[in-house]
A and B are shown apart, each in its own frame.
Chain A
Amino acid sequence: MLVLEGVDVYYGNIKALHGLSIKVDEGEIVTLIGSNGAGKTTTLRTISGLMSPRAGRITFQGREIGGERAERIVAQGIAHSPEGRRIFTDLTVRENLDMGAYLIHDKSAAKERLERVYTLFPRLKERASQSGGTLSGGEQQMLAIGRAMMSRPKLLLLDEPSLGIAPILVQEIFREIEQIRREDGTTILLVEQNAHMALKLADRGYVIETGRIVHEDEAGALLDDPKVREAYLG
């Protein structure tokens, strides 16, 4: 479904991704694990069009999307729940979700999406008229994922959904990610520092170090790999 081949990405003159190649098949949950600054977030930002690759190819459903504008890429079915949640704190929860459905012009379809997201995250319905900034960290994360789900994406990019959230809510959010894959049939690319949780949820995993993929395998095999255990699972 999504294929990155030999992708180079730079911040100014600093090379952040070195010939990165990954692929995600339809219906999979794939995780990208690695330490801080390894290039996980950059990879997602490049897929969703916030950054442009200087070399390499990115194809989604057989179509080249590398370097396309972010607002065009989301229209093709890739939704990105970014690092740090990045919800609109001045907008209400409901308005945040409306923004997620910005490209859905059919009102009844948008309403259907809203009902679906409320079913996934009932708390968002309770807090619909509150401004996003008043939510707790875990609720904001739910809002970020719910907002991304509003566009009915084929591929969902999740950046650090466990970051800065109470452990009990992390469990809940990971269950909901699993539910999104199972019930909506959404393919998921998950970036996590919490490698243990990510690998337990995912089908396959990639290990990224300083902008290069150093290891890839079934998620279960990575969990048992002594080198991965030592570096990322403590």
Chain B
Amino acid sequence: MFFDYLMNGLGLGAIFAFIALGYTMVYGIIKLINFAHGEFFMVGAYVGYFCLRDLDIERVGLPQPLPILLDFFVALWAASLVAGLLAVLTERVAYRPVRKAGRIAALLTAVGVSLLLQNIAVQVWGANPRSFPDPRVFHALDDLEGEAQANYYADREFTTTQGETVTEAVLLISQGDVLDATKRASIEDQGFDEVYERVTLSPKSVQYFVILALIGWTPILWFLVKRTRMGKAMRAASEDADAARLMGININLVVALTFFVGAFVAGVGGVAYIATYGKVEPMLGFLPGLKAFVAAVIGGIGSIPGAIIGGLILGVAEAIIPFVLQEVFGWEEAFAWKDAIAFAFLIVVLVVKPTGLLGKPMREKV
């Protein structure tokens, strides 16, 4: 039980960390709290949603679990690239023109961009949440059987290459589950031309994947920032932009690249979110974005390891503290207060260590 909550917390924390990385990298380089960063995450989640819903790599007929992994592979790349390019475009159109106008102007621009992207998402994808698996398409099997069952099916028509119209039932099955033969028969009995099984990852295995993904990304980012020429240029520019320009570093390019990398990683977080929680909506970026910002501040804004640690700590705190309050202290409503607990946690950290866990003390300009 406790272990489940811990895993929930780590999975959630890994998602916070993926978002917090972009916050902290952008802040590090242009001292901008990019409030639109949560929207890059939201767009990534939508792209991930469409990929996971429509890719259907199973049709190729590869042995499991290759199709699921390929689904995720494509979803991750697509979501990350779209989020990254959107961030580069946003920076070019909205932030670069106001970069010299002061931090308040840039901050207000970021709030404006955030609202703009949310509303564009409403226009393009509708205001209603979408779920994966979609309950309007995939009916829970218990509709048929009258008993609880985590599998889903959908019926749909498609036209074959010979021009025949075929109806098929798609059975969504959590990985590791075996579909009961009588249930399968009950669907086949409804007169579909074809019945095919599509395996999905269970939320629990998704959590493992998300945590593994974070573990995998950490050395990649470390290498990118510490070892590559561009990474060194990023660190140089974040410390002293004028001095960096004197080295021949093109600040605009470095800033654009920072936005790209930050949003690319947020796209990973977006896919992780849709795979774990199965729901996307246009306002999705707001609360996780805000909490990821909190995570970045807890870790020490501007610090890349800080963002990862801050994200994980916040995720675990959000899962474990209400759990303890409920189980140990008997406070039944503890989980309803989990957002308040997250922000209270921020206040405590800031009181104890104002620069965050790994933040550097503010240097006075000499």
Shortest Cβ gap from A172 to chain B (Å): 23
A48 proximal to B (CB < 8 A): yes
CB contacts (< 8 Å) of A89 on chain B: these are 239
Q: Which chain B residues border A75 with CB–CB below 8 Å?
A: 248
Contact across chains for A91 and B232 when beta carbons are under 8 A apart: yes
A interface bracket (residues with beta carbon within 8 Å of B): 20 to 34
B243 touches A102 (CB 8 A): no
Bound-complex Cα distance A102 to B244 (A): 10
CB <8 Å contact, B366 and A102: no
Q: How far is the CB of B306 from chain A (nearest CB, A)?
A: 14
Which residues of chain B are within 8 angstroms of A88 by Cβ–Cβ distance?
A: 235-236, 239-240, 243-244
Rounded to whole angstroms, the CA-CA distance of A12 and B204 in the bound complex is 59
Residue contact B247 to A102, C-beta cutoff 8 Å: yes
B218: interface (CB < 8 Å): no
Q: How far is the CB of A94 from chain B (nearest CB, A)?
A: 10
Flag if A147 contacts B245 (CB, 8 Å). no
* A98 at interface, CB cutoff 8 A: yes
Docked complex Cα distance between A50 and B248 (Å)? 11
Are B246 and A48 closer than 8 Å at their CB atoms? yes
Can you list, as one digit per residue, whether each of B248-291 has a CB less than 8 Å from chain A (1) or not (0)?
11110000000000000000000000000000000000000000
Q: A84-B366, A99-B232 are in contact. Are A74 and B239 (CB under 8 A)?
A: no
**Interface SS majority for chain A:** loop
- Assess whether A147 is in contact with B235, with CB atoms less than 8 Å apart: no
| Residues from chain B with Cβ under 8 Å of A69 in the complex | 245
A82 within 8 A of B: yes
Where chain B touches its partner, the secondary structure class is: helix
| Interface residues contributed by chain B, number (CB under 8 Å) | 18
Bound-complex Cα distance A75 to B250 (A): 11
**Interface code A88-109, partner B: CB below 8 Å = 1, 0 otherwise?**
1111000100111011000000
**Interface status of A79 (Cβ within 8 A of chain B):** yes
B243 close to A151 (CB less than 8 A): no
Chain A CB within 8 A of B233 CB: yes
Interchain CB contact under 8 A, B232 and A82? no
Please tell me if A70 contacts chain B, counting CB pairs below 8 Å. Answer: yes
Write out the residue numbers on chain B whose beta carbons fall within 8 Å of the beta carbon of A148. 246
Distance in angstroms between the alpha carbons of A90 and B235 in the assembled complex: 8
Is A86 part of the contact surface with B, judged by Cβ < 8 Å? yes
User: A71 at interface (Cβ–Cβ under 8 A)?
Assistant: yes
* Interchain CA distance A89-B273 in the complex, whole Å: 38
**Given pairs A70-B246, A86-B246, A91-B236, 20 additional interface contacts (CB within 8 A):** A50-B242, A50-B246, A69-B245, A71-B245, A71-B247, A71-B250, A82-B242, A82-B246, A84-B366, A86-B242, A87-B243, A89-B239, A91-B235, A98-B232, A99-B233, A99-B244, A102-B229, A102-B248, A103-B248, A147-B247
Give the B-binding residues of A (Cβ under 8 A): 48-50, 69-71, 74-75, 79-80, 82, 84, 86-91, 95, 98-100, 102-103, 147-148, 151
